[in-house]
């Protein structure tokens, strides 16, 4: 792999599975088949806290337990506070439901004209094409349907979804999600992407996937060919902590980028995982080095049993403020709250604006210094003596902002 800067992205290797032949380890089918899905399997690999044990016992009624061997290797088994561990190993807190929490925290159910197709914004749809993921995030917004552990009984209906999109010329943007769309076979993805591409009014197609993070082995040359064939396909991956930025993820991102897939990242602000300025700064820098542009930072949705994950919104603002102006602009994600009950994603920004009147706007910069920009023009009085002709413009003064 020629260009990826992996200077301090550790190659994970096979860790606990060092006996497994490399060809199997690198086969995504093997990774899926050998996922850790039961308390007994977890017990055989590590010692769980009581809180985790209680969480695992409950998981089958809420959101299934599944961790790929690749991702399991990222867990620090000696540290109950490991930020990777908290994302995928259930804890007792999942069983405690608070009054502000909801099964459908962002109100997707009332904007589904067809099962699995959320049409909230006039020009774009969220198309849920599977309920399965390679591993399950304990704070998942869609735990009501993802993994089918609850009574939801979700059966994605691509045909109805595709027909709806075909019949609605206002839909110019289709976001494939789930579950994780990249768990579908290359053949199925080829079919769905081909159908979407054939719809004249669909201008923009994107995929939301955590597969590069949980199962980088799935990003095969064959899959990349499918994405290239129907490109441009944009992709949002989901990385929460710098520890997830391994050489394997870097290589998967490189394969996707070289297939012409622009990459963004969506992180969820999680207490005890990434609600920290230094952790976030490290994460966004590593993402840029892997050609991934930080896109959104989400305030954790009010999903049932998520109180132990939710960080203070003021912490999110502090993180954004510590990034904006202090590092590369490309590295700064937009912090959003997906409005509870369903109002869409709303940007939550630190306050730079101090005052705006008909005369001026007063604001502070990243260092806290105050500046003024006038909103009225005050012409200079006409000169008495004739002025010298203007000098020719020097290079670089054309006003172009690059
Ligand atoms: C997030 C989301 C989208 C995409 O929103 P963007 O801000 O364009 O990334 C579309 N539909 C639904 C229902 C969503 O939740
Ligand atoms: S990968 Fe996405 S859909 Fe799947 S469990 Fe995680 S957050 Fe939910």
- In the predicted model, what is the mean pLDDT of the chain? 93
The backbone torsions φ and ψ at residue 374, rounded to the nearest 5 degrees and listed phi first, read: -75, 145
Q: Which three-class secondary structure string do you get for the chain?
A: CCCCCCCCCCCCCCHHHCCCCHHHHCCHHHHHHCCECCHHHHHHHCCCCHHHHHHHHHHCCCCCCCECHHHHCCCCCCCCCCHHHHHHCCCHHHHCCCCCCECCCCCCHHHCCECCEEEEECCEEEEECCCCCCCCCCCCCCCCCHHHCCCCCCCCCHHHHHHHHHHCCCCCEEEEECCCHHHCCHHHHHHHHHHHHCCCCCCEEEEECCHHHHCHHHCCHHHHHHHHHCCCEEEEECCCCHHHCCHHHHHHHHHHHHCCCCEEEEEEECCCCCCCHHHHHHHHHHHHHCCEEEEEEEECCCECCCCCCCCCHHHHHHHHHHHECCECHHHCCEEEEECCCCCCEEECCCCCEEEECCCEEEEECCCCCEEEEECCCCCCCCCCCCCCCCCCCCCCCCCCCC
Least confident of 59-63, 130-134, 398-402: 398-402
230 contacts 197 by C-beta, under 8 angstroms: yes
Annotated active-site residue in 281, 289, 345, 364? 345
Mean pLDDT of the region 95-106:
94
| Distance in angstroms (rounded) separating the CA atoms of residues 69 and 78 | 17
Ligand 1 atom closest to residue 236's alpha carbon, by position in its atom list: 9
Residue 183: what pLDDT?
A: 98
Top CATH class of 95-334 equals alpha beta
Lay out the sheet containing 124-128: strands in order across: 117-121, 124-128, 173-177, 204-208, 233-237, 263-269, 292-299, 334-338, 345-347
Which residues does ligand 2 sit against, CB inside 6 Å? 133, 136-137, 140, 142, 146, 178-180, 210
Provide the pLDDT for residue 320: 98
- Per-residue pLDDT at 156: 83
Find the distance separating the first CA and the last CA of the chain, reported in whole Å. Answer: 31
pLDDT at 248: 97
In this structure, the residue with its CA closest to atom 7 of ligand 2 is 140
Average pLDDT over residues 43-50: 97
Task: Tell me the CA–centroid distance for residue 134 and ligand 2, in Å.
Answer: 9
Residue 302 alpha carbon to ligand 1 centre in Å = 17
Determine whether 224 is an active site residue. Answer: no
Residue with CA closest to ligand 2 atom 6: 137
Task: State the Cα–Cα distance between residues 172 and 307, nearest whole angstrom.
Answer: 36
pLDDT of amino acid 5: 42
The alpha carbon of 154 and the centre of ligand 2 are apart by a number of angstroms equal to: 15
Is 137 in the active site?
yes
For ligand 1, atom 12, which residue shows the shortest CA distance?
126
- Among candidate residues 56, 82, 140, 300, the one labeled active-site is 140
Measured CA to CA, the distance from residue 204 to residue 75 in angstroms comes to 36
Distance 59 CA to ligand 2 centre (A): 15
> Above 90 in pLDDT, residue 84?
yes
Tell me the CA–centroid distance for residue 25 and ligand 1, in Å. Answer: 35
Mean pLDDT of 254-266: 98
Q: pLDDT per residue over 356-401, tens digit each?
A: 999 999 999 999 999 999 999 989 998 877 667 666 655 555 556 6
121 carries an active-site annotation: yes
213 pLDDT higher than 60: yes
Residue 291 designated active-site: no
Q: What is the mean pLDDT of residues 203-228?
A: 98
Give 302 or 2, the one with higher predicted confidence: 302
Find the ligand nearest to 264 CA. Answer: 1
Q: Which atom of ligand 1 is nearest to the CA of 338?
A: 15
Pairing of strands 124-128, 233-237: unpaired
- Is 35 a catalytic site residue? no
The residue extents of the domains of the chain are 15-94, 95-334
33 catalytically annotated: no
pLDDT digits 0-9 by tens, 139-164: 999 999 999 888 888 888 889 999 99
């Amino acid at each position: 792999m020629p260009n990826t800067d992996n200077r301090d992205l550790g190659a994970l290797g096979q860790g606990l599975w060092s006996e497994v032949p490399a060809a199997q380890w690198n086969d995504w089918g093997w990774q899926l088949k050998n996922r850790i899905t039961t308390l007994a399997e977890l017990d055989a690999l590590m010692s769980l806290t009581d809180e985790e044990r209680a969480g695992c016992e409950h998981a089958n009624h809420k959101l299934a337990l599944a961790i790929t061997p690749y991702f399991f290797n990222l867990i620090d088994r000696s540290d109950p506070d490991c930020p990777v561990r908290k994302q995928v190993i259930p804890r007792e807190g999942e069983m405690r439901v608070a009054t502000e929490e909801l099964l459908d925290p962002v109100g997707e159910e009332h904007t589904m004209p067809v099962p699995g197709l959320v049409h909230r914004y006039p020009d774009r749809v969220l198309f849920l094409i599977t309920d399965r993921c390679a591993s399950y995030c304990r704070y998942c917004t869609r735990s009501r349907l993802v993994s089918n552990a609850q009574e939801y009984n979700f059966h994605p209906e691509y045909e109805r979804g595709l027909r709806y999109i075909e019949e609605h010329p206002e839909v110019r943007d289709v976001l494939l999600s789930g579950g994780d769309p990249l768990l579908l076979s290359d053949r199925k993805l080829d079919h769905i992407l081909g159908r979407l591409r054939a719809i004249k009014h669909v201008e923009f197609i994107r995929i939301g996937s955590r597969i590069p993070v949980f199962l980088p082995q799935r990003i095969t040359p064959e899959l990349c060919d499918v994405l290239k064939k129907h490109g441009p396909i944009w992709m949002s991956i989901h990385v929460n902590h710098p520890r997830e930025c391994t050489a394997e993820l870097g290589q998967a991102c490189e394969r996707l980028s070289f297939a012409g897939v622009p990459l963004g990242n969506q992180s969820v602000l999680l207490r005890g995982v990434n609600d920290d300025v230094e952790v976030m700064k490290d994460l966004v820098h590593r993402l840029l080095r892997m050609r991934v542009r930080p896109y959104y930072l989400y305030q954790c949705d009010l999903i049932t049993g998520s109180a132990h994950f939710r960080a203070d919104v003021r912490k999110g603002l502090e993180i954004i403020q510590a990034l904006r102006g202090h590092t590369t602009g490309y590295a700064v994600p937009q912090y959003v709250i997906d409005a509870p009950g369903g109002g869409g994603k709303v940007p939550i920004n630190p306050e730079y604006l101090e005052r705006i009147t008909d005369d001026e706007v007063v604001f502070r910069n990243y260092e806290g210094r105050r500046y003024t920009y006038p909103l009225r023009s005050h012409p200079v009085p006409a000169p008495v003596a004739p002025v010298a002709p203007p000098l020719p413009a020097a290079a670089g003064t054309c006003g172009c902002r690059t």
